[in-house]
Amino acid sequence: MEKTCEKNMRKKITNTLAWFFVSRDALTSQSSKLYFLWVVSAWFFVSLSLQRLVYFFWNHDFFESHSVATVLLGLAYGARFDASTVMLTVVILLPFYLLMRWRAGLYVILAVFLVLSALGLIANWIDIELIRFTSRRLARDGLFLLGESGWKARDIASQYGVLIVAGIAFLVAAYLSLIFSLRALASMILRRVSSTAPKKYYLTNFVLWMTSLFLIVLLARGGGPERSLPLEVIDAPAIPQIDLLALNTPFVFYKSLVRSRVSRVHLIASDSEVLSILQPLQTKASIHLSDPPKNVVVLVMESLSYGFLGKRNGVKGFTPFLDALIDRSLFFDNAYTNRMGSISGVPAVLGSMPGLGDTHYLESSYASLPINGLGHLFPESVDKAFFHGAKRTTMHFDQFSVRAGFNRHYALEDYPDHTDFDGGWGIYDKPYFAHVAHKLETLSSPFVSAVFSLSAHPPYALPDHERKTLPAGALPLLASIAYSDRALQTFFDIAKTKPWYKDTLFVVTADHGQMQYLPNLNHDLGMHHIPVLFFQEGRAWPAEVDRHQAVSQIDIVPTIVTMMGLKQERKNYLAHSLLERTSRPVIFRLGGIFYVVTDEHFLVYPLTHTGALLYDLKDPQRQKPLNNPVVEKKLTEFARAYHQYFNNGVLDRRLFRESLN
């Protein structure tokens, strides 16, 4: 009896497992291969398209300022990107699929396709939320986050539980639908093959395969007779948020694996003309400070958007200490992050290195480019220290700190009390900033130092005793911003007691902007808008400094040069001192677009070099383009010179050149 039951159970298990597979005849004939190819391709395409709809509804606030027609345009473009993604995946495996005759081998090829599609769908799903922090689709240069974040499963589950459960349900439903579709297809193929005459069968196969190969190549390239070049990321609509809606993550990731990051640009006739556009002749010398400071401390605050300030936005805000410090500082209220992402922001602040390539500078093939960072401004004998409470190798800061001229690098491994570890990234900001304030006393004056915070980074881990007393906000990030503001206050409270305090220039800024909770800042300019301030105890700042000029992170180093009366032997001509009497536009990149910003206007300049639109700075939602050919021409010329100088400077290793003044 027991043997009979055991035999029946084995039979049931065998039949159940066999249901997931198809017979040899249904899989190995050429027509069968073709049918299976198109079914799994159609399934992958539909899955990506459904995820785009989820992305749209989850991030509906991104599209409130866009018309229905504009959103539909993004969805229509998305179909082309999805089709290209599917066919690029097919092309990888197609030669093996065509030549394989063994059923086991075909199962392996099919399994590889399903694994690749699963990875693509998972990455695409992750970007539904991650894109709110990065403002871009995940590419190769974003993989460092996976290895360095140290996030714990419970932290992710607690904050994104709904999205995770929905994602798992989506994948399960998608793959079950695929299994049922393949089983139904197998039954249909067997009936069709047995009832088809041999000559007609072979002729039909030949026609179908030739047609299919043509369509695969056409769709992989992006489809359409008007395309002479394959579809690229830059071909997404040059409309903020709509471009991200149209794209999908697997496509962006594929392209980041195979495309060159920088190509040579010839938009301006000569190098001297480029320099004349970037550095217009000044009628008066820069403003210099009497009795310049001896020391410099640059505090780079994680995710500190301008929108989180209180007084400047007419709200209570989450930065009471910084609000008070601003009133005593040289504060620039029209400043912008160089690019979204700490891995680009820190090199911009400390090395005047703009993040204008398709990938982050520190993750790119030109990461060895010689730069003239903050540490290089001071003699070799001066102590130059970089502090960050994460692991030493985080975001390649161990290598970057050396390239930026720092001779000391203090990280998580050097911190004495690991009970202050946040369980993910590194040491909580408040104890770490106190540690840095005391550590600076061990440096010989004059010194230069940079401190990078970390607590305002997902998953926003905070000490339990602090969390209870922090203001709650519409975003989980805001409590962490309030905590980092307290850390900043702790740093200054300790620094005030040190003998070097009054001789020190303090610079406070952000590594990058962040998603906004104030509706009037929920746009691309608002996401990139950051505070930049210079503070020295007792310093009266010259009234003639233009505090409303457009400011980029890369302008911070040359401004320090001017303030301290230093000489910059080599400089990046994309950056300029904020104490110059002639202000200039600044540029930041978002996807395939340059934003060219002044104190009155901004130009949205696609990197296709066509279709630029000019707007008033008071119209950040881009409701009404301006008709001002003079200003538009000037800013377009500046954008082209900027692009040419950067790309060609990177390729020729001449981004930083001998100073002409």
Instruction: Give mean pLDDT, residues 273-286.
Output: 76
pLDDT digits (tens, 9 = 90+) for 524-579: 899 999 999 999 999 999 999 999 999 999 999 999 999 998 888 888 999 999 99
pLDDT (0 to 100) of residue 83: 92
- Higher pLDDT: 261 or 35? It is 35
Rounded CA-CA distance 507/530 in Å is 13
pLDDT at position 152 is 56
Nearest to 389 by CA among 496, 461, 441: 461
Helices 153-194, 103-134: crossing angle, 10 deg rounding: 140
Q: How confident is the model at residue 106 (pLDDT cuts 50, 70, 90)?
A: low
Question: Is residue 655 a contact partner of residue 372, using CB atoms and an 8 Å limit?
Answer: no
The secondary structure of residue 555, as a DSSP letter, is G
Give residue 333's pLDDT.
Answer: 95
Query: Can you read off the two tokens belonging to residue 382?
Result: 């001066």
**Do β-strands 529-535 and 330-336 pair in parallel, antiparallel, or remain unpaired?**
antiparallel
With beta carbons less than 8 A apart as the criterion, state whether 573 and 645 touch: yes
pLDDT, mean of residues 318-342:
93
551, two tokens: 């400011």
- Other CB atoms within 10 A of residue 301 CB: 27
Burial 503-524 (b: 16+ CB within 10 A, else e): ebbbbbbbbbbbbbbbeebbbb
Q: How buried is 271 (Cβ within 10 angstroms: 0-12 exposed, 13-18 middle, 19+ buried)? A: middle
Arithmetic mean of pLDDT, 590-613:
91
Six-digit token string for 353: 């290195």
Beta-sheet pairing, 601-606 with 613-616:
antiparallel
**Distance, CA of 107 to CA of 110 (rounded, Å):** 5
Predicted TM-score (pTM) of the model is: 0.75
pLDDT over threshold 60, residue 146: no
Burial of 108 (0-12, 13-18, 19+ CB in 10 A): middle
Displacement of CA 122 from its chain's centroid (Å) = 18
Q: What are the beta bridge partners of residue 383?
A: 447
Strands 529-535 and 504-510: antiparallel
Distances (CA, A) of 188 to 23, 104, 181: 12, 21, 11
Tokens of 513: 């902007």
Who contacts 171 (Cβ-Cβ below 8 Å, separation ≥6)? 118, 121, 122
Query: How does residue 154 score in pLDDT terms, banded at 50, 70 and 90?
Result: low
What pLDDT, on the 0 to 100 scale, is given for residue 386? 96
Rounded to an integer, what distance in angstroms lies between the CA atom of residue 587 and that of residue 339?
A: 10
Return the top range by mean pLDDT from 191-205, 356-370, 410-424, 645-659: 410-424
The candidate with the shortest Cα–Cα distance to 615, out of 544, 525, 536, 550, is 525
Rounded Cα gap, residues 558 and 571, in angstroms: 8
Check residues 287 and 139 and name the one with the higher pLDDT: 287
Residue 101's alpha-carbon distances to 27, 179, 198, in angstroms, are: 9, 22, 19
Work out the pLDDT band at 348, boundaries 50, 70, 90: very high
DSSP characters over 421-448: B-SSSBB-HHHHHHHHHHHGGGSPSSEE
Q: Is it the case that residue 46 has pLDDT exceeding 70?
A: yes
| Nearest alpha carbon to residue 21 among 101, 117, 111, 115 | 111
**pLDDT tens-digit profile of 444-490?**
889 999 999 999 888 888 998 888 899 888 888 899 999 999 999 99
pLDDT band at 144 (very low <50, low <70, confident <90, very high): low
How many CB atoms sit inside 10 A of residue 407's CB?
Answer: 16
Question: Which residues is 530 bridged to in the sheet?
Answer: 335
Strands 330-336 and 551-552: parallel
pLDDT band at residue 625 using 50, 70 and 90 as cut-offs: very high
Cβ partners under 8 Å of residue 528, min gap 6: 336, 337, 340, 512, 513, 588, 590, 595
30: confidence class by pLDDT, cuts 50, 70, 90: low
| Spatial separation of the C-alpha atoms in residues 399 and 409, rounded to whole Å | 10
Quick one: pLDDT at residue 442? 93
**What residues does 336 pair with on adjacent strands?**
529, 552
149 and 353 Cβ atoms separated by less than 8 Å: no
For residues 320 and 469, give the distance between their C-alpha atoms in angstroms, rounded to a whole number.
14
Give rounded-to-5 percent helix, strand, coil for the chain.
55, 10, 35
| % pLDDT > 90, the chain | 44
